[in-house]
Structure 1
């Protein structure tokens, strides 16, 4: 169970990425039905921690609380800055005991220096992926994704992708409802599709069309239907080829992949909050049958619908 979360501050730390970790894990949302974590902000040497923007954050707690943390979180920092050996120890010991370890953006270099990326996939901000691969050749760096999880070690890409990575851990440990609760409070999508490659090629999206907001809303309202690209294109008043190309350019994924992810999220919610049978949920979410839904659960979540309900469902039902 995810309960105790320790954020390790570093000299040269990026304030936004630090703030992401504080926002996701540091706020008590129990009154709104959300999670509450035992959250700690620590430093190898308590006192003023200079951020990369030149102002200090005063940290009063040392690393002692990290020894039994369920999650160690490392924000972005000025890569190349010396890392205190106690920080590396904390990261290594957390990984060794099976705790979650999370880095945001350039924080991946700390995980690399600790040796826990060896033999794992990883990512970081697209500007630093080549440097990470060169510095730590025993990790496989994926430059295109928003985050990577490899055996409870999660590396997030640049800046806002830290939100995606943090919510992923919440979702894995506490379920979709908990992640959705946090996302709603933060006014962000609970789960984004696509990857950071779309931002590399085109930092400013060339095509901003209200038709995509309209069609995605329509898709969400009609998940139970068998929606084809041709049908969606007609809904958007485009040719099928133009629709598919522009959809991918703006949303970073194909219409089919986006639709399947929304169906999966809806199925997760129904498994958590209702006692409906698997066939009924599969039908209501557009998977057609329980076998197809099971395939998507295993492929994306590495679990079955039955096991997911057993772990996160509010009602235990036979399946």
Structure 2
């Protein structure tokens, strides 16, 4: 499993710590073929995050967490709450050693100063927060600084302004690794997934497009239900009853309900509804079909029924969802020319 090692210098903003875990963890959770391990590695002298709401953090790793990384892995260098000085020599050495082993290295916000201090950006293009671009160029004249804060890739080094704690850079790396479709879906899940309470689902909150903690199909299901789930998802436009589903599975209705709860965390009809909402999301994202047509294709019947269930499970209406998703796609597409993968 590829490792994303996040180097924590003292005073790193808290959202710079949590954003990589959210982005890469969401990609991992929502896509069965995506796998990442996020590793927090404290640099010497690290005590806590920076303001405005500093908190202590016991990172599981020190810089030794970088020592075993290979060319399949990535090191991320987030910023600091104050204008950065020279990084500790141990950090410089660890980053140079990781680069020598072929690791990909990313930095965002003022973290680009830390990476530039290693000399690894000499003769390369790089980016940082707009307000720090002139200072980065002054302190590291051998680095060509992009003044706009865009995500910049130059060889194995990826740098960015660090918008929202580096989410722009994280999404770019996911795009490079797994393609635009996975990155766009990850961004959608990060920004648009609003949880609704579901009294029937164990564990309380349930994702709007799936079982607890993720979209339908994100986690492997048992062999017993696998064929039935595929059969069900191929017939979303048809009225399906518990008896229909149980008949296909070769189970009684009571046994079917037990099996569904064990393997998906949901009763059968709740699972069916979540799949229908997920299908509606995909149709809204990828086409211009009217809501009435989407309601028919997903088995939700009428536009009013679709709007009711869609808002209950996502917190927004189909039309607002479509507009918001397209805005996110336009933003991602406009951030550079990452390969589709």
Query: Does the alignment reach a TM-score above 0.5?
Result: yes
Query: Which residue of the other structure, out of 139, 142, 156, is the alignment partner of 1:152?
Result: 156
Q: d(CA) in 2 for partners of 1:176 and 1:158? A: 20
Post-superposition shift, 1:51?
Answer: 2.2
Structure 1 residue aligned with 2:337: 300
Q: In the TM superposition, what are the counterparts of 1:279-318 in structure 2 within 5 Å?
A: 300-301=337-338
CA distance in 2, matches of 1:52, 1:110: 19
How far residue 26 of structure 1 moved from its aligned partner, in angstroms, is 4.1
Separation (CA, whole Å) in 1 of partners of 2:2 and 2:90: 23
- Deviating above 4 A after TM superposition, structure 1's stretches of 4 or more consecutive aligned residues are 218-222
Are the structure 2 counterparts of residues 58 and 120 from structure 1 closer, same or farther at C-alpha, using a change threshold of 3 Å? same
* Cα separation, 2, equivalents of 1:221 and 1:103: 36
Q: Which residue of 2 aligns with 1:80?
A: 84
Cα offset, 1:55, TM superposition: 2.9
Supply the RMSD in Å over aligned alpha carbons. Answer: 3.4
Tell me the distance in 2 between the aligned counterparts of 1:20 and 1:140.
27
Q: Contact between 2:40 and 2:59, CA under 8 Å: does it hold in 1? A: yes
Pairs aligned (count): 207
Conserved 8 A contact 1:171-1:179: yes
SS at match of 2:47: strand
Q: Report the CA distance shift for 1:81/1:129 in structure 2 as closer, same or farther (over 3 A).
A: same
Residue 29 of structure 1, CA deviation: 3.3
From the superposition, tell whether residues 39 and 135 of structure 1 become closer, same or farther in structure 2 (CA, over 3 Å). same
Asked which structure has the greater RCO (Cα within 8 Å, sep 6+), the reply is 2
**1:10 aligned residue:** 9
State the Cα distance separating 1:5 from its structure 2 match: 1.1
Q: CA deviation at 1:9?
A: 0.5
2:99 is aligned with 1:95: yes
Gaps of 5+ in 2: 193-283, 289-329
Cα deviation for residue 60 of structure 1 reads 3.2
Is it true that 1:41 corresponds to 2:40 in the alignment?
yes
Whose Rg is larger?
2
Q: Distance in 2 between matches of 1:55 and 1:124?
A: 25
Contact 2:84-2:114 at 8 Å conserved across structures? no
Deviation at 1:34, TM superposition (A): 6.2
